[in-house]
Amino acid sequence: MKKAIIYIVLAVALIGLLFNMDLVFNMILSTIIFLAVISVILYAVYYFFLLTPSQREYKRALRKAKRKNPKRYKK
């Protein structure tokens, strides 16, 4: 009798999970998008307001050099 109750509870939980799967995936996706937007905003604030123009120029040149010769900058 105990096993039957456990199986019934598990079946109900599985059915509930399947019906709410779209809600769960939407919540996960919206959280990931929210974190990505916040990250982009924080990086933009860092890049445009905290770095000096010479530091920005150096970062830009470093990215260009890494694209041109990726083997040299491997870790």
- Note the pLDDT tens digit of each residue in 17-63: 888 888 888 999 999 999 999 999 999 999 889 989 999 899 999 99
pLDDT of residue 23: 86
Reduce the DSSP state of residue 51 to 3 states and report it.
coil
Query: Distance between CA atoms of 63 and 34, rounded to whole angstroms?
Result: 26
pTM of this structure: 0.59
Residues 57, 58, 64, 70, Cα dihedral to 10°: -170
Tokens standing for residue 13: 């939980």
**C-alpha–C-alpha distance, residues 11 and 8, integer Å:** 5
Domain boundary assignment for the chain: 2-73
Q: Are 13 and 21 in contact (CB under 8 A)?
A: no
